[in-house]
Amino acid sequence: MTTTPATADKDQFILILKCPDRKGVVAAVSGFLADNDASILESNHFNERMTDQFYMRTVFRQDGDDMPPLEALRKGFDLIARRFNMEWELFDASIKPKVLIAVSKFGHCLYDLLHRWRSGILPVDIVGVVSNHDDMRSFVEWSGIPYFHLPVTKDSKAEQEAGFLGLVKDLDVDLVVLARYMQILSPDLCRALSGRCINIHHSFLPSFKGAKPYYQAHDRGVKLIGATAHYVTAALDEGPIIEQDVARVDHSKTVEDLTTLGRDTESQVLARAVKWHSEHRVLINGHKTVIFK
């Protein structure tokens, strides 16, 4: 079930939850909000039949003088959550998640994210950019964003990742975005960032691994190119998928054409994934995701 979406503002709140599917979940949630002087603006529900899990995202606002503060709402809702064995979170929609972008030498995804952020169409607070190279420093600092250079070698990887995780903690980061960050994260770092780290890559995988994938694709005469955005896990490039897209190509396209189109697709797919995550529209469902667009 989906009702008409509403634009988030400072007076809106977002409740997301998942639980075993049982009769009365929707009634309990809507009744709780009504009893606390709140009005529902948007509501999305989904039942995963194979696992009999219920997923829900609800946007609401105050509709009366007696809606309690957010912490009091959380305390009150916890009684319902326990009754239905829910995993849940309640957010103030006006608070933008703090994002740390990681990049290496390819800047297309970084440029696109910063443009959307500066234009006000990406609802995040970018608190820094971290890189294992210094190539993007001038552009990032020109954009008024702190730049953190953390070079890495085979021998310094553990130390470099400790510095990376230190930035996440010091900047109080909610989401890490790997915008073509060409380093494989260790299992320990993947676990530390579980559910809050998004990666982007071309959709040829597991084919055409390694350097110059578009050259390999051109050599094999592919007819589709695309991109995948997913949550990072210790299983390389196998985390829950958030968004994918493809573009058709034919024999007339050069390697340069494929590369340009592929990078455009990567940028768009990553931006959508970051936006949906930041609007609390993505719920992880085992190896998959439920996305309330």
Q: Which residues are catalytic?
A: 237
Beta bridge partners of 241: 230
Contact (CB, 8 A) for 180 and 112: no
User: Could you tell me which residues come within 8 angstroms of residue 133 by beta carbon, excluding any fewer than 6 positions away?
Assistant: 104, 105, 149, 151
Amino acid 184 reads I
Calpha distance 216→259 (Å, rounded): 11
Binning the chain into helix, strand and coil, the percentages to the nearest 5 are: 30, 30, 40
Cis peptide bond prior to 206, omega within 30° of 0: yes
**CA atoms in the 13 A half-sphere facing the CB of 136:** 30
Dihedrals φ, ψ of 38, to 5°?
A: -120, 145
Number of helices and strands in the chain (H, E): 8, 13
| Helical segments of 36-155, H only | 70-84, 108-118, 137-142
Contact (CB, 8 A) for 13 and 19: no
What are the Cα distances from residue 74, in Å, to 10, 36, 170?
A: 18, 12, 26
Question: 280: how many CB neighbours lie within 10 A of its CB?
Answer: 19
Calpha distance 169→115 (Å, rounded): 26
